[in-house]
Amino acid sequence: MPMTNFDIKNIDPEKEDNLSFEELIVNMGPQHPSTHGVLYLELTLDGEVVLDCRPHIGYLHRSCEKIAENRTYVQFIPFTDRLDYLASMNNNLGYVLTVEKLLNLQVNERAQYIRVIIAELNRVASHLISAGTLAQDLGAYATPLFYCFRDREKIVELFDTLCGSRLTYNYMRIGGVKNDLPPGADTSIKSFIKYEREKLKEYDDLLTYNAIFLSRTKKVGILKKEVAINYSITGPNLRASGVPWDLRKEEPYLVYDRFNFDVPVGEAGDAWDRFKVRLEEIEQSFRIIEQALGGIPEGNPTVKINKVYKPAAGEVYLRTENPKGELGFYIVSDGTTKPYRNKIRSPSFSNLAVLPELVRGVNISDAVCVLGSLDIVMGEIDR
């Protein structure tokens, strides 16, 4: 049977609407490995181009804030580990600092120095996971991720020696810390810093200036500083957009005002800048740790654990610079042993909220890159 010739010139203009596109809705998640947790993204597509994105959260909700109202101030410390579980030490720190402010409690200097050292080590560990998972999201398979986990393992081993745990530490205490640094900890930490500085050069060769990595991250997911500020973006994501805001500099807590370190910032605010800023922050954390180890005073940083604290009725808010941004605790006391209200301000919530602004108009594969570069953890979003 002969084929019928088709001439595009003979298309009826009145029927051209029949050739128009249809929007396609794709559900990414809630178990998708690229979503950094139990997250569901509802993507509206034109072909492979993202027209809109609606994040759906709540799959990991555990009622942490409500639980706090039924626990004493000390009993809630382990629950803070479950917020950003990749930076549990930093969560512990932010909470106990807030309670200490509520109690007008002074902490000795050795405990403050140890808190800084441990918090910065956990910041390094968190940034390593961010770098490795972003590379995996972009199709680099397992090599960069395994390298990052290999280096993070050295920090985890130190924390295991310090407090007997590898992920959820429950180390910070109201008034101090659970244990003093173990013997030889300063030598081990300095050895790790020397080792990791060499590995950071490998990451630059493997990822930062890799042609494929650059093509996947440069000019992708550009977050303008005005948009970042309007969405209350904080941490490395804000600094990558060119805003040099770091609470350790702007509102120093503990003994951060005694240390010299820089605040890395980006220029374009794209996925590459967000990745690069985190790698640069690892070096700045090393500078802080070295200064802290060199000036740590003598004393006993541990405290006798009081099972019951009764702060005077009142309210207090305190925020700290967590690896993913500003973590804030707002605590209301009614004079009893349990807080009347414990509101948690998580950085990942704001970081996720801006995602639709960044992925509209990009390819669906680039949407995965943008999400990975924001470095969110659902544990502190679904609280």
pLDDT in tens, 222-281: 999 999 999 999 999 999 999 999 999 999 999 999 999 999 999 999 999 999 999 999
Domain boundaries, the chain: 60-348+367-381
CA separation, residue 134 to residues 42, 348, 366 (Å): 21, 16, 12
Distance of alpha carbon 25 from alpha carbon 166, whole angstroms: 40
Give pLDDT, residue 4: 41
Question: Please, what is the average pLDDT of the chain?
Answer: 92
- Nearest in space to 110 (alpha carbons), one of 252, 254, 253: 254
Three-class secondary structure of residue 42 per DSSP: strand
- The tens digit of pLDDT for each residue in 187-227 reads 999 999 999 999 999 999 999 999 999 999 999 999 999 99
Angle between helices 185-203 and 271-295 (to 10 degrees): 160
Helix pair angle (185-203, 109-137), 10° resolution: 30
- For 311-346, the pLDDT digits (tens) are 999 999 999 999 999 999 999 999 999 999 999 999
Task: Name the CATH superfamily housing domain 60-348+367-381.
Answer: Cytochrome-c3 Hydrogenase, chain B (1.10.645.10)
Q: Residue 17 has what pLDDT?
A: 53
What pLDDT sits at residue 9? 47
